Chain A
């Protein structure tokens, strides 16, 4: 069975500092995507970053980067130079491996608070 685990229910970080959110998963698939989404108080789910499992290079998007360790099935998100607007719930998500299907399995989320 596929699982996604986010072991940090809540985290906080000082503005301008760096924080890392952890995510581990389990799958029998070899080629897949992994996603980080953020959900601010507005409840709009926003894509933060995507990693393709067959790519060894870690994905980066401006201040956001991932540390993807395929063998360890670990997919952590690093936020550099944290800003107040980064305050949100962060979800790690993984597509369930049904051919041609788009159904994401979400972790339980990490509530991140950026402190001024």
Chain B
């Protein structure tokens, strides 16, 4: 099976702009989670989608949003970009059929730089 894919791999934006990142999970995986990785804060959970519904959200401002489509592909959007949004954004997918936390498999990430 193909792994988790993320597009684009690199992005450069300026403050105030908005950005959309895309994630395609492993075939058959219905859960998609997003994480932000920065040198200062480490890896932090953003949100998780399962069957097109957001199941949980981390402690991030409302500028960070996401959605999931019927084919389980997910997008996350960041509006009004700030310098501090520069980070590696990681997407992970899992089967999550048991109704509880399951092994997550990560994509290669999208490196966002905000100037």
| Interface residues, chain A, with chain B CB atoms under 8 Å away | 32-33, 35, 37, 42-47, 50, 91, 95-106, 108-109
Given A35-B103, A102-B101, 5 extra CB contacts under 8 A: A100-B55, A100-B99, A103-B101, A105-B45, A109-B42
Q: What number of residue pairs across chains A and B have CB atoms under 8 A from each other?
A: 69
| Interface residues, chain B, with chain A CB atoms under 8 Å away | 31, 33, 35, 42-43, 45, 48, 50, 55-56, 58, 88, 90, 92, 94, 96, 99-106, 108-109, 111
Min CB distance B44 to A, Å, is 8
Given A101-B55, A101-B56, are A44 and B109 also a contact pair (CB < 8 Å)? yes
B42–A42 contact, CB under 8 A? no
B42–A95 contact, CB under 8 A? no
A46–B90 CA distance with the chains assembled, in angstroms: 12
Give the chain A neighbours of B104 by CB distance below 8 A. 47, 102, 104
Give the chain A neighbours of B35 by CB distance below 8 A. 104
Residue of B nearest to A31 (CB): B100
A103–B56 contact, CB under 8 A? yes
A102–B109 contact, CB under 8 A? no
Min CB distance A80 to B, Å, is 23
- A-B contacts, 26 listed (Cβ < 8 Å): A33-B101, A37-B106, A43-B108, A44-B106, A44-B108, A47-B103, A47-B104, A50-B103, A96-B45, A99-B100, A100-B50, A100-B55, A100-B99, A100-B100, A101-B48, A102-B48, A102-B92, A102-B96, A102-B104, A103-B45, A103-B58, A104-B43, A104-B101, A105-B45, A106-B42, A106-B43
A87–B42 CA distance with the chains assembled, in angstroms: 19
B33–A103 contact, CB under 8 A? yes
B109–A43 contact, CB under 8 A? yes
Residue of B nearest to A37 (CB): B106
Give the one of B58, B100, B105 with max A CB within 10 A: B100
Give the chain A neighbours of B45 by CB distance below 8 A. 96, 103-105
Give the chain A neighbours of B101 by CB distance below 8 A. 32-33, 95, 97, 101-104
